[in-house]
Structure 1
Amino acid sequence: MIRPSMSRRRLLGLAAGLGLGTAALGLMTGCARGGAEAEVVVSFNDLSQPFFVAMRRELEDEAAKLGVKVQVLDAQNNSSKQISDLQAAAVQGAKVVIVAPTDSKALAGAADDLVEQGVAVISVDRNIAGGKTAVPHVGADNVAGGRAMADWVVKTYPAGARVVVITNDPGSSSSIERVKGVHDGLAAGGPAFKIVTEQTANSKRDQALTVTQNILTSMRDTPPDVILCLNDDMAMGALEAVRAAGLDSAKVKVIGFDAIPEALARIKAGEMVATVEQNPGLQIRTALRQAVDKIKSGAALKSVSLKPVLITSGNLTEASRIGEMK
């Protein structure tokens, strides 16, 4: 069995001893083949999520502007696959790896191994924690984003509110931090602001639909005032559940996180009250620019924290302005 910490030289030596070529070696290590080797490898948590689809689009646009070849890998929300992909990236000669981790702690060992092999690592959207070497991170302040959602509730319902929280991927820093922001903000509002239930839908629209349907069924006589969804895809599922339950979206309000185009359209139509913009484009473009500078000049990778913005019908133009920040 090939150990995660095994160096490129030792892996190649093993392959030679077994009579294997580098292509076979790539298959042994679970590498996602994508053409010629690239100096920058980007591993996304889950490319079935609209947020990461948007981030990939921005990545490819920035790569074209910078004239750099980038290999994109999809972890499919599987930590084991993502670890295997990162091991293979080192074997294939990547100089910088940009990663949106499936799980903040599960990827720590793989990041340490990359650094030990001379491969620089920087995370986006979700950070990597618990490793021997701190990994620079480019992303929004998720605690502040969650707090913005809660602050909206406190301001809109001064007498108090019953709140449902639908969380995103368990174990991810984004989920942990957004939940903290929501809890802190509601607690600051006082005991009249109650989280009546908190459940995960794993960042999936269909799961959020089912979870919200079950919640609304159990609370038929006393529906919640607000449903806080910690990503927009789940918010779309929650909106469908509210509609299917025969409830007015003005009575049971839904807030999302990510400011995907569909969410902004729902806000404009008056079906959804707010979402949090965390600018995936600026995140990935900033990380890629740092990666290229690292390769060209040896410049150190640095953490960058972006301020999230709560988008409502009152500042929809702000979402367009933020999207142009590249």
Structure 2
Amino acid sequence: MKKLTLIAAALLLILTTGCSLEPPEWAKPKTGGDIKEMKIGLSVSTLNNPFFVSLKDGVVAEAKKQGMETIVVDAQNDSAKQSNDVDDLIQKGVNVLLINPTDSAAISTVVQNANDLGIPVITLDRSSDKGDVKALVASDNVKGGKMAAEYIVKMLGKGAKVIELEGVPGASATRERGKGFHEVADTELNVIAKQAADFDRTKGLNVMENLLQGNPDVQAVFAHNDEMALGAIEAIQSSGKNIPVIGFDGNEDALNSIKAGKLTATVAQQPELIGQMAVQAAKDVLQGKTVDKSIPAPLKLVTKDQQ
């Protein structure tokens, strides 16, 4: 009986060890030491969006400048995949995690896993709902949403009928851009419809087609990002209407569309700068320096006359 108990205990120990997320000793992150020996793990929500490609490029370029290695993984807008990707980065012994969450709630568990292992986490563009995040490097999304609403009021006057295309439900950028927009729109505009299109151009087109059928008197559209805005423009053009559309990000396609007189305006972020600032924050954290919990990157409203 005693022998069976010992065997059961040994099996339990093996199973417990095998299920642990803790990396092997050789892969555990170093603390202190030469910054050029440090390894950055970057998890991006999707590389199918020019904004996040620019963000990634900013991280990689700045890390290379600092002499640091970067391992990049693409979540493909799948929160479960992103959690697995970050676990893999932990297993590879990264010294710091830079995470651009697909979903701010879903990423919380792996952020807490990293916390337990002493791996500092910095988030980019979107936050994590739980866990210890050393810094969020992002544009002021609330301010950007307000800027979009104020521009529509200035352009069309109070009470204009507006459709809002929302981003991925659960993403902090969706909540914050919507919050800022409605701080103005709820009193100055008439938001006749709003629906999520997940920050995606094709979904933006499809959702806009449906919303146009039910709201033929719409006077303007605010999209939580440029990809959805560009999709909405396609739907509007196909309908034969001429409705101003305001996006958010300032990616290259959007800026070209503004020049061509299609997209009306965008609240422009600076994704490469966000990436660079995140690496600098990571460097400071790894060197034991204190960083601000929120590190804002500047925004500007871009129109055809203001490019």
Q: TM-score category by the smaller chain?
A: 0.7 to 0.9
After TM superposition, the structure 1 stretch with the greater mean CA deviation from structure 2, 52-61 or 70-79, is: 52-61
Return closer, same or farther for 1:202/1:146 CA change in 2, 3 Å cut-off: same
Q: Alignment identity in percent?
A: 33
CA distance in 1, matches of 2:224, 2:304: 19
CA distance in 2, matches of 1:83, 1:38: 22
Counterpart of 2:166 in structure 1 is 167
Answer yes or no: is the 8 Å Cα contact 2:58–2:274 preserved in 1: no
- Higher RCO (CA 8 Å, separation ≥ 6 residues): 2
CA distance in 2, matches of 1:311, 1:53: 20
CA distance in 2, matches of 1:4, 1:45: 26
Instruction: Give the TM-score taking structure 1 as reference length.
Output: 0.81
Answer yes or no: is the 8 Å Cα contact 2:244–2:263 preserved in 1: yes
AA matched with 1:128? S
AA matched with 1:225? Q
AA matched with 1:255? I
The superposition leaves residues 156-186 of structure 1 with CA deviations (integer Å, 9 ceiling, x where unpaired) of 2224200000011110000010011111111
CA distance in 2, matches of 1:41, 1:130: 19
CA distance in 2, matches of 1:42, 1:198: 32
- Residue 209 (structure 2) pairs with residue 213 (structure 1): yes
Other structure's SS at 2:248 match: coil
AA matched with 1:168? G
- Residue 290 (structure 2) pairs with residue 300 (structure 1): yes
- Residue 235 (structure 2) pairs with residue 241 (structure 1): yes
Return 5+ residue gaps in structure 1 as ranges: 14-21, 23-36, 317-326
CA distance in 2, matches of 1:126, 1:43: 12
1:127-142 to 2 correspondence within 5 Å? 127-131=127-131, 133-142=132-141
Answer yes or no: is the 8 Å Cα contact 2:123–2:133 preserved in 1: no
After TM superposition, the structure 1 stretch with the greater mean CA deviation from structure 2, 148-157 or 302-311, is: 302-311
Q: Of 253, 264, 272, which residue of structure 2 is paired with 1:273?
A: 264
Other structure's SS at 2:207 match: helix
Counterpart of 1:263 in structure 2 is 254
CA shift for structure 1 position 116: 1.4
Answer yes or no: is the 8 Å Cα contact 2:43–2:82 preserved in 1: yes
Q: Of 274, 278, 281, which residue of structure 2 is paired with 1:283?
A: 274
Other structure's SS at 1:163 match: strand
AA matched with 2:105? K
Return closer, same or farther for 1:253/1:5 CA change in 2, 3 Å cut-off: farther
CA distance in 2, matches of 1:260, 1:226: 20
AA matched with 2:289? A
- Residue 245 (structure 2) pairs with residue 254 (structure 1): yes
Q: Of 304, 315, 318, which residue of structure 1 is paired with 2:306?
A: 315
AA matched with 1:260? N
Other structure's SS at 1:65 match: helix
Other structure's SS at 2:71 match: strand
Return closer, same or farther for 1:4/1:257 CA change in 2, 3 Å cut-off: farther
Answer yes or no: is the 8 Å Cα contact 2:122–2:133 preserved in 1: no
CA shift for structure 1 position 265: 1.4
CA distance in 1, matches of 2:147, 2:84: 37
After the TM superposition, which segments of 4 or more aligned residues of structure 1 sit over 6 Å from their partners? 1-5
CA shift for structure 1 position 272: 1.6
CA shift for structure 1 position 63: 2.3
1:164-203 to 2 correspondence within 5 Å? 164-189=163-188, 193-203=189-199
CA distance in 1, matches of 2:254, 2:303: 10
The superposition leaves residues 4-57 of structure 1 with CA deviations (integer Å, 9 ceiling, x where unpaired) of 863224xx79xxxxxxxx9xxxxxxxxxxxxxx971000001111111111122
Other structure's SS at 1:40 match: strand
Q: How many pairs align? A: 282
Larger radius of gyration: 2
Counterpart of 1:48 in structure 2 is 48
